[in-house]
Structure 1
Amino acid sequence: MKRSLLSASSRDTSLVVAATCFIAATYGLVRLAYGLFLPDVQASLGLTTATAGAVSSAASVAYCVGALCGSAAGRRRRVLVAAALTTAVAGSLGMATASGVASFATAAVVASTSAGLASPALVAVVQHHLDGPRGDRAQGVVNSGTGPGLVAAGVLAAALSPDWRTAFVVSAAVSAAAGLAVLLLDGPRGARARAHGPEARGVLAPRPQRTGPAAWSRLARPAGGALLLGAASAALWTYGRSLLVGAGLGAGWSTAAWIGVGVGGTVTAATAGLLSRRPAPTAWTLTCSGLAAALGLLGVAPSSRTAALLACVLAGWSFVAATTALISWSGAVLPGSVAGATATLFVTLVLGQAVGSTLVGAAAGGHGLPAAFVGAAVVALGASTCGWASSPGAPAPRTDRGAEGARGPWSRSGPPEVLTGPTTPTPGRRRRDGA
């Protein structure tokens, strides 16, 4: 636990731990686990590659719907937590008990909605209890849940494979336990709230300054990059393990590679300082290029254990760091409407994943997964070019808050994560991402 949390009450500390576990569950064990268990699901239910991509696309759209609903109802934090808990448990159990492709697909879409609801809900919960720098650091700790969640999913797959049904039952149980813990620990702010007044750290306060249509046009370049990044990353989140299993690595090494993705996303904190000293567009170009290299290596050498493991670690780092750069970029181009700008960019990113899942599935059906991954690498390179010759705008204030990663784009004072949803400090004040 970070130093700033040591002085907080044990109840607040427990709440932060529970919230972090809830993000790990809804993202790592529920939403992103779809791609991890896909080879086993295909073997059991006869799910085709193209259909798997279409299901992933629908799940990404559901994530966006959940995220937007959560943002609109940010003040009703307990309702949002309960909705995220319900959809996570119902979706996971639905996948575990699915008798065919249709029922599995429906459950997967419901499960993905949970992650979109969880991010804005937990932003509101943490802001309700913790103020100032301590609250900022608590948000960072909660943000870090996606990476460990991916690692936990990989360990679960290694222990249970090919029994994916039991794995989703475990995911439902963990989601239920973490969500209920958040609800039980979330209570009145007490003296701290009264001391700071009703507007202190409110989800929607202070009101951001108005930004005209001309200013919003500055989002065109980062939005284009976000769309391309989402489309390229869909290859990893939906078909990463399927590629490795098809190349002959087997369940053990393919699962280890997936764990590598989580490790890569978790350790981005080690490079946060280096990236934060560079303009956001420059960091964007660097990290998107890293994802392109990782996807290309997976496509060219999927049967090499060493290459696959290194590529997955690089992919995990690149994706999380790229979303962090995107967050900083939104704050640089629209400092007066940071939350709205970042929400727009992250929804665009996940919509890119929705499109990318379908396109990668179609390409794989005609040319094979290795060729589809090479194509995704080219798309990632295209995303990197969006940072070329781009003015970074005014620098944002420095902070040591954690990264959005895969969580979502919800903040009352700054930009968000993801997906799909990943854990590094950024140079701007922001808050919150898949598959």
Structure 2
Amino acid sequence: MALIAAVYGLARFGYGLFLPRFTETFDLGSAVSGTIQAGSFASYCVAAVLAAGLGARPRLVIGLAGATAALGSAAVAAAPGPGVLAAGLVLAGAGAGFASPGLVTLIGRNISPGRQERAQTIVNAGTGAGIVGAGILMLLTAAQWRAGWAVIAVLAALTAAAVLRADSARADSTRADSARPTASSGRAGADGGPPAEARGGNSISLARTLAWPLTAAALAGASSAAVWTFGRTVTAAAPDYGGDAYSIGAWMVLGAFGVLGAFAGRIVQALSLAAAWALTSASMAAATIALGLFPGVLPAAYAAAAVFGAAYTAMSGVLILWAVRLMPERASTATVAAFVALAVGQSVSAVVLGFLLNPVEPAAAFTAAGLAGFLAVLPAVKDRAADKVRFRTPQRRSAGSAAEPDPAPVRKPS
């Protein structure tokens, strides 16, 4: 959770928080700002794909997550001009792309199957904690934003090291790597069956199986880019309140409520996966529109930030469960594909919104982004396959068999 806080909440999404400072220092316009953010999202995609190829070596993947986030953040801290700033932000964005797949695999081999769904969503909620930390860091460093990014670099390195230490503390995990298949391995399947490739585990099969969640993720990503990239910019420029204290406060509210995303697993169990996705995606979209309409109305803006934070983190947690339930034998690869789709949507949207946005009158751009979030609900309505595989505790039995438990994500060989 701490690693996700560092690489997501700070190194990746911290860009939007610090954007007003970057704009002042380097004279960035909205179009350039959106393009830089798109580059960060694109590097996330590249890193996630590379992480999928290294699925059998999760410790290396986590090391790359810490290294890229730390080096990128250090480059931002030392940037003499917009070119180095952009390069540093793009490199820092790659850290998040490495972190998620690596953590999915480590959770799969360190935590019992019955606890993995909840563990995945708790770890995922680190984004919210990191955003709160970014707000505190912004207040402490004030105009010295370079010092803030130096701190981010240190935190990224330390949290990656802590995750590696936590995994190596289990005496059997390293020895088991050579014998135990991982969720993305091409050897025996994660459920002890034949290799994933033997069961149609190629890219075409993956795209077909995950068609609905990938479509939903891309639309949800397009919707979320407005707040992640320009949320603090529009609140800082609001004519009524505005200013640093007001806009940073809204950002911290977003992060604090983002921690509530840890309950995503319970939402899925209480409702259904389709209903949980519809609820979180639609809530995020409504909050995006509300922030664009009322950026300078304190109660409305802060309420919108709170709903967006909780909904986005829960939505991304539900996305993990959606992908893993559809392809439990290739959980890490499925998670990578889903989050790449999310980042592609964010990347394209950041560029488009950068050209559309008027920071003083953001309603049109934010409403367009919100509509994409409402459209993201439709794929979940169409895809009933995921809800046929429901999470149960180990004591519960599936309807089709009195001897076998219901499938759980990232199952280990029995």
Query: Under a length normalisation based on structure 1, what TM-score does the superposition of the two structures give?
Result: 0.79
The verdict on how the C-alpha distance between 1:23 and 1:314 changes in structure 2, with shifts beyond 3 A counting, is same
Residue pair 2:254, 2:310 contacting (<8 A) in 1 also: yes
Structure 2: which amino acid aligns with 1:231?
A: A
Q: Residues 198, 140 of structure 1: CA spacing in aligned structure 2 closer, same or farther, 3 A cutoff?
A: farther
Residue from 404, 409, 412 that aligns with 1:429: 409
Instruction: Tell me the residue number matched to 1:246.
Output: 237
Bigger drift between 85-94 and 391-400 goes to 391-400
Distance in 2 of aligned mates of 1:132 and 1:290: 30
Distance 1:372 1:211, change over 3 A: same
Name the structure 1 match of 2:55. Answer: 74
Q: What is the percent sequence identity of the aligned residues? A: 32
**Deviation (angstroms), 1:228:** 1.1
Asked if 1:268 is matched to 2:261, the reply is: yes
Per the alignment, in what secondary structure is the counterpart of residue 143 of structure 2?
Answer: coil
In the alignment, structure 2 segments of 5+ residues that lack a partner are 394-406
Cα offset, 1:281, TM superposition: 2.6
Give 1:292's aligned amino acid: A
Residues 131 and 200 in structure 1, CA contact (< 8 A), matched pair in contact too: no
Asked if structure 2 preserves the Cα contact closer than 8 Å seen for 1:210 and 1:336, the reply is no
CA deviation after TM superposition for structure 1 residue 292, in Å: 1.6
- 8 Å Cα contact 2:284-2:373 kept in structure 1: yes
SS in 2 for 1:31: coil
Equivalence map 1:236-315=2 (5 Å): 236-248=227-239, 249-270=242-263, 272-315=265-308
Question: What secondary structure does 2:210 align onto?
Answer: helix
CA distance in structure 1 between the partners assigned to 2:24 and 2:8 by the alignment? 24
Post-superposition CA distance 1:21-56 (Å, at most 9, x none):
222111111111011100111011111111010011
1:183-194 to structure 2, matched below 5 A, reads 183-187=164-168, 189-190=170-171
Partner of 1:210: 200
Q: CA deviation at 1:227?
A: 1.1
| 2-structure distance, mates of 1:185, 1:290 | 35
Q: 1:354 aligns with which of 338, 347, 357?
A: 347
The answer on whether the counterparts of 1:128 and 1:189 sit within 8 Å (CA) in structure 2 is no
Indicate if the aligned counterparts of 2:323 and 2:331 stay in contact, CA closer than 8 A: yes
Within the alignment, does 1:26 sit opposite 2:17 as a pair? no
2:357 corresponds, among 360, 364, 367, to: 364
Change in 2 beyond 3 A, CA 1:176/1:128: same
Shift of the 392–137 alpha-carbon distance from structure 1 to 2, 3 Å rule, reads closer
Shift of 1:430: 5.6
Which one is further off, 110-119 or 358-367?
A: 358-367
* Residue in structure 2 matching 1:61, options 42, 51, 75: 42
In 1, the alpha carbon distance for the partners of 2:55 and 2:212 equals 28
CA distance in 2 between counterparts of 1:277 and 1:131 reads 21
The 3 A distance-change label for structure 1 pair 428 and 133 is closer
Report the alpha carbon displacement of residue 107 of structure 1 after superposing the two structures with TM. 0.6
Partner of 1:228: 219
Matched residue SS, 2:55: coil
Aligned to 2:210: 219
Superimposed CA distance per residue, residues 157-199 of structure 1 (whole angstroms, 9 cap, x where no aligned partner): 1222232211101111212222233445553743577699931
Partner of 1:181: 162
Alignment CA distance shift 1:137-1:76 (3 Å): same
Contact kept in structure 2, 1:151 and 1:262, CA below 8 Å: yes
Hey, what does 2:402 align to over in structure 1?
none
Contact 2:125/2:260 (<8 A) preserved: no
TM-score (norm 2): 0.83
Distance 1:214 1:184 in 2: 36
Which whole-Å CA distance do the structure 2 matches of 1:218 and 1:81 have between them? 27
SS of equivalent to 2:346 = helix
Question: Does the alignment pair 1:89 with 2:70?
Answer: yes
Give the whole-Å Cα distance in 1 for the aligned partners of 2:214 and 2:62: 29
Helix, strand or coil for the counterpart of 1:302? coil
Contact 2:128 2:313 in 1 (8 A): no
Aligned residues: 386
**Root-mean-square deviation over aligned CA pairs:** 3.1
- Measured after TM superposition, the shift of residue 230 of structure 1 is 0.7
Distance 2:352 2:63 in 1: 34
The amino acid that maps onto 1:112 is G
Matched, 1:323 2:307: no
- The one-letter amino acid of 2:45's match is C
AA in 1 matched with 2:308: A
Report the equivalent of 1:107: 88
Check whether the contact 1:327–1:430 (CA below 8 A) recurs between aligned residues: no
1:93–1:233 CA distance, 2 compared to 1 (3 A)? same
Conservation of the 8 A alpha-carbon contact between 2:238 and 2:295: yes
CA–CA distance in 2 between the matches of 1:186 and 1:230?
31
Q: Report if the CA contact (8 A) 1:24-1:147 is conserved.
A: yes
Task: Quote the Cα distance in structure 1 between the aligned partners of 2:177 and 2:165.
Answer: 24
Q: For residues 173 and 217 of structure 2, what CA distance do their matches in structure 1 show?
A: 39
Q: What CA distance in whole angstroms lies between the structure 2 residues aligned with 1:147 and 1:89?
A: 19
Q: Relative to 1, partners in 2 of residues 1:149 and 1:189: Cα closer, same or farther, differing over 3 Å?
A: same
Q: Which runs of 5+ in 1 are unaligned?
A: 1-19, 401-426
Cα contact 2:184–2:329 (8 A) shared by 1:
no
Q: Structure 1 pair 241/76, CA: closer, same or farther in 2 (3 Å)? A: same
